[in-house]
Structure 1
Amino acid sequence: MATAVTNGVIIDWLARFHDIVAKQRAYLTELDSAIGDADHGVNMDRGLAQVVAMLDQPADGSDASTGALLERIGNALLTSLGGAPGPLYSALFLGAGAAAGERTRLDPAELADSLRAGLAELVRRGSAESGDKTMFDALDPAVQALQKAADDGAGLGPATAAAAAAAVAGREATAPMLARKGRASYLGERSIGHVDPGAASATMLVIALVEAVAQG
């Protein structure tokens, strides 16, 4: 198990994220069919495949630091992911990369700080708040749980596991919410009773991190 997030863990993280999304593409499409454009699963699968292919290319040294690699991923997500998720996932990684800076490894506290900065950038781009029924409702509790675990002295494995559990709970909590952002908000009360597809894919992102750390 990895004790810190390195570039190798990050590359494995994105590969595992794509694997989970590819396997759950129909599920994401089903969720998005209810309150969106029915393209979230396809767009996420296709876009992440391009990002993973980019990461498989030999490194040129420009992303030697963890921060630089995260920013490279953020830029790739912006051009590869279609629809609304592209700028939001991009913002998450760009913000995290800027906070990570020249570090080459992130301990649990540094990972939490980086993801908190990424989440702030996502909010700046998308103006999401808790309860809006978006990916923020899964990511915000995940980052909070990660931060608390780090503050309590937990190692990377338990800290990311706590984040994943919080993300799952946040995802499920979107079902009774009234959508206030994005395409789902046009449905009004008809958006109630459906899990948000963005929160679902964001939870997959956190679960993929747990798996990458476990194998790191």
Structure 2
Amino acid sequence: MTRLKDALDHIAAAVIKQRDLLNRLDSIGDSDHGTNMARGFAAAIDALDALEDLSTKKVFSVVGTAFSENIGGASGPLYATAFLRAAALCDENTAFNVKTVEKLLGAAIDGIKKRGHSDTGEKTMLDVLIPVYECFTPEKAGDKTLYKCIETAVKAAKEGLDYTKTIPATKGRASYIGERSIGHEDPGAMSSLIMVRELFNFLKY
């Protein structure tokens, strides 16, 4: 699916462009989230450029593997798990619609929860990804198109990011400073927001 590859190219470029912002947000951690995400996406795009098979399953699998092999810290294994869990549910004919996104994103989030031993309210990427996922559930999606669900998801992602400023970190290096992490946006939540937002921006054109 060349459309999926094009979307990932767009998202990767946006994340790489925001490398310094993500590093600054990670100043209460290791200050390398942006560098790590840029490295992971660069490796993923290089691997995808060499592919002939651009099925959804293969693309997600390659991205997950690239993240696993090229990103250290907490974010690499978590994002790798998310993509690989989604890939495991795909077949050669998987196409995107509201139900498919709900299923794949649900599997990705479940993988992140188990790998990171985390949930919402702990100042992590899940504070963005779970509200985004809810936008694709039957209760929230209703009769909306996939595009409209993604548009709604961008707003939910921003609200989730803002929420991370109001709570202390309980995971990762940032948890060492406890209450002093309040007032800071979580870098993983920000990188998740960027991905959701840039997918929407890609689909607008």
User: What TM-score results when the alignment is normalised by the length of structure 2?
Assistant: 0.93
Distance 1:201 1:77 in 2: 14
Q: Say which of 174, 179, 182 aligns to 1:192.
A: 182
Deviation (angstroms), 1:29: 1.2
Partner-residue secondary structure (3-state), 2:171: coil
Of 67, 82, 94, the match for 2:84: 94
How many Å separate the matches in 2 of 1:161 and 1:27? 23
Residue 101 of structure 2 aligns with which residue? 111
Q: d(CA) in 2 for partners of 1:97 and 1:130?
A: 23
Question: What is aligned with 1:4?
Answer: none
Paired with 2:93 and 2:126, the residues of 1 have a C-alpha distance of 26
Alignment of 1:1-216 (within 5 A): 7-33=1-27, 35-59=28-52, 61=53, 65-148=55-138, 151-215=141-205
Structure 2 residue identity aligned to 1:29: N
Change in 2 beyond 3 A, CA 1:112/1:9: farther
TM-score by length of 1: 0.88
Note if contact 1:9-1:213 (Cα within 8 Å) is conserved in structure 2: no
- Structure with bigger RCO (C-alpha 8 Å, 6+ apart): 1
Whether the 8 Å CA contact 2:36–2:71 is kept in 1: the answer is yes
Give the whole-Å Cα distance in 2 for the aligned partners of 1:29 and 1:151: 34
User: Within 2, Cα distance between the matches of 1:42 and 1:199?
Assistant: 15
Identity among equivalent positions (%) equals 38
Are the aligned partners of 1:13 and 1:212 in contact in 2 as well (CA < 8 Å)? yes
Cα deviation for residue 70 of structure 1 reads: 1.3
